[in-house]
Amino acid sequence: MVANVALSAVNLLALQAGTWDLRSMWGSMSLVAKAVVFILFILSAWSLGVMIDRALMYSAAQAVARICAAGGRSSPGRQAGRGYLHRGAE
């Protein structure tokens, strides 16, 4: 049974040799499949943006933590009971 599946897979690949480029795959897709690919592309770009944002925020928080640890004082955003995000609203 496994040999039959493997042989079928080899035959399928042999019949479709040369159709693994993006242009031919896009041309053979239905409208629903193209919509799914488009949505997945948008979500991948969004996910990449979130990862970059989190990495930048982490590095900024790490830098603030190092400054606070070296100076032995409290966080600069915790003055007068205000959070770090509200320091520009003063």
The structural domain count of the chain equals: 1
| SS3 of the chain: helix, strand, coil, percent, to 5 | 80, 0, 20
10: in domain: no
Tell me the pLDDT tens digit for each residue of 71-82.
766 555 555 445
Tell me the pLDDT tens digit for each residue of 80-89.
445 555 555 5
Tell me the pLDDT tens digit for each residue of 1-12.
767 777 777 666
**Which band of pLDDT confidence, cut at 50, 70 and 90, is reported for residue 21?**
confident
41: in domain: yes
User: Is 0.85 topped by the overall pTM?
Assistant: no
Where in the sequence is the domain holding 42, given as residue range(s)? 30-76
Task: Confirm if 81 and 70 have CB atoms less than 8 A apart.
Answer: no
